Amino acid sequence: MATPRKKRTYTTAFEAARTLGQLFSPEGYTWETELPVRAKHVPLIIHISCNAHFTMFIAYIAGEILKRLDLEFVTVGGPENCCGSIQKNMGDPDLEADVATKAQLGFNRAKPRKVLSICPDCDDVFAEYPLKAASFVHANISDLVVEYLDALKPKMKPVNKRVVVHFHDASPSRVKDAGRVMTILKAIPGLEILPAQLAHGPGIHCQTVHPMAPHDQAAMFAEAKALEADALVVPYHSCYRQHIKMQLEFGVETQHYFGLLAEALDIPFEEPFKIYRLTDDLETVMGMLRPKIERLGYDEDLVRIYVDRAVFC
Amino acid sequence: MSSSWIEVGAEADFAGQMKVFQIGRKKVAVAGLDGGIFAFDGLCPHAFGPMHRAEVDGAIVTCPYHAWRFDLRDAGREIHGYRPLAMYDVKVEAGIVHVLFEAAASAVVLDSRPCKLSYVAA
Ligand code: FES
């Protein structure tokens, strides 16, 4: 049965993030949607933006890494911390700056020294509308790992995998991210980075605004397969969302670099999004989610629409 | 100060429309939807999102900033359990809509848009 698709609106975009964030999270995993006006000082904030709620394992692993480093942090998420890119993409650019500012004012309540976003869109929007007199520097989450890489290296165990590294270089910040991801991967013992030529992604990230063209995507995976790669490693959740399904055709897994980092650091984690996408069947996924949908009291018909749009994109 | 009924326009002009007025020092949104006319705070209680640009599903309005969703038929209750949206009493007399405001003031329309739907078939 085909799902009656609903057009993307603020309601569907944000409710999908809100709902799937809960459904796709590890049991007991929580995040703050609003920091109190007089929040306790916290040096680090992990920021989960809208579509990053579909791949919550990334924020979860980031938190586990910070715990292993004994660093104090708070995780903020929910639509309440949207960077403003949704408003821009919905055709309301006049709302974008205000939403970006509100999010940063919210972070500033805890007077952090660094705010780390998972999504490159957030990186770009916050860079475009920086908060005057912010206590914090905003950076991509890869920045934090590189900052503490020397402390993490002794904790790593070998990950014996052959990988192709997918990257984007459409802007200076994407080039920096790609460099940091490569630095992190090179620090993981046992990991063999293969000399691929076709792993370059379009635009600033895959999937949403600049999806990788199907023939380029197929060529990237064909090359990875020919190189006998175990995995294609991606820098962003959006690339992860677009490329996972290719495992069904090419047998090469798509992994976010945080997944490899977690393996190296012995952090147990699950990837529900990947499990769901690889079923290749919406109703199978709905059957898997049904107990949690019922327990959390969600409307199954709406969840079906959100899952169809987010997972089978 | 005693409250006052403020005239905001002809009933017919609100059908399927979201308008926002400056009344005294407040922004007040007035919308004709779900078979009624509702007046509510023009600024969202979360972070002051522009409520006249809300999406509409029956009598539930969704703020365009972060999608807090308020039920106008249930005193502005936020459906996820967040803070409610302040509402104003409305009366229609001889086809003219009035909003009960905290003091005598005039209403100046700032913006008017057709209601956008929360759920639209693709
Ligand atoms: S300002 Fe309305 S939901 Fe945040």
ipTM: 0.95
Residue-wise pLDDT for B14-68, tens only, equals 999 999 999 999 999 999 999 999 999 999 999 999 999 999 999 999 999 999 9
- Quote the mean pLDDT of chain A: 95
Asked if B94 reaches chain A (Cβ–Cβ under 8 Å), the answer is no
Cα–Cα distance measured from residue A87 to residue A69, given in angstroms and rounded to the nearest whole number: 36
Residue-wise pLDDT for A178-234, tens only, equals 999 999 999 999 999 999 999 999 988 888 778 899 999 999 999 999 999 999 999
Q: List CB contacts of A148: < 8 A, sequence separation 6 or more.
A: A65, A69, A71
Q: What total number of domains does chain A contain?
A: 1
Is residue A297 included in any domain, yes or no? Answer: no
Structural domain boundaries, residue A160: 155-269
Residue A1, pLDDT > 70, answer: no
- The residue-averaged pLDDT of A38-56 equals 96
Is residue A123 included in any domain, yes or no? Answer: no
Is residue A207 included in any domain, yes or no? Answer: yes
Cα–Cα distance measured from residue B115 to residue A65, given in angstroms and rounded to the nearest whole number: 46
Which CATH number covers residue A173? 3.40.50
Cα–Cα distance measured from residue A10 to residue A24, given in angstroms and rounded to the nearest whole number: 20
* Helix H or strand E segment including B98: strand B96-101
Domains of chain B with CATH codes = 3-109 (2.102.10.10)
Q: Which of A230, A233, A179, A237 is nearest to A208 (CA)?
A: A237
Is residue A264 included in any domain, yes or no? Answer: yes
Q: Count of CB contacts below 8 A, A vs B? A: 64
CB burial readout B8-38, b (16+ within 10 A) else e: bbeeeebeebbbbbebbebbbbbbbbbeebb
Residue-wise pLDDT for A110-151, tens only, equals 999 999 999 999 999 999 999 999 999 999 999 999 999 999
Cα–Cα distance measured from residue B115 to residue B122, given in angstroms and rounded to the nearest whole number: 18
- The residue-averaged pLDDT of B93-119 equals 96
A299 band by pLDDT with thresholds 50, 70 and 90: very high
Is residue A16 included in any domain, yes or no? Answer: no
Is residue A263 included in any domain, yes or no? Answer: yes
pLDDT value at residue B121 = 81
Q: Is the CB of B65 under 6 A from ligand 1?
A: yes
Is residue A198 included in any domain, yes or no? Answer: yes
What percent of chain A is modeled with pLDDT above 90? 92
Q: B66 and A15 in contact by Cβ < 8 A? A: no
The C-alpha torsion from A106 through A148 and A235 to A191, rounded to 10°, is -160
Residue A284, pLDDT > 60, answer: yes
- The residue-averaged pLDDT of A231-244 equals 97
pLDDT value at residue A8 = 87
Asked if B83 reaches chain A (Cβ–Cβ under 8 Å), the answer is no
pLDDT value at residue A313 = 80
Is residue A276 included in any domain, yes or no? Answer: no
Asked if B81 reaches chain A (Cβ–Cβ under 8 Å), the answer is no
Residue A3, pLDDT > 70, answer: no
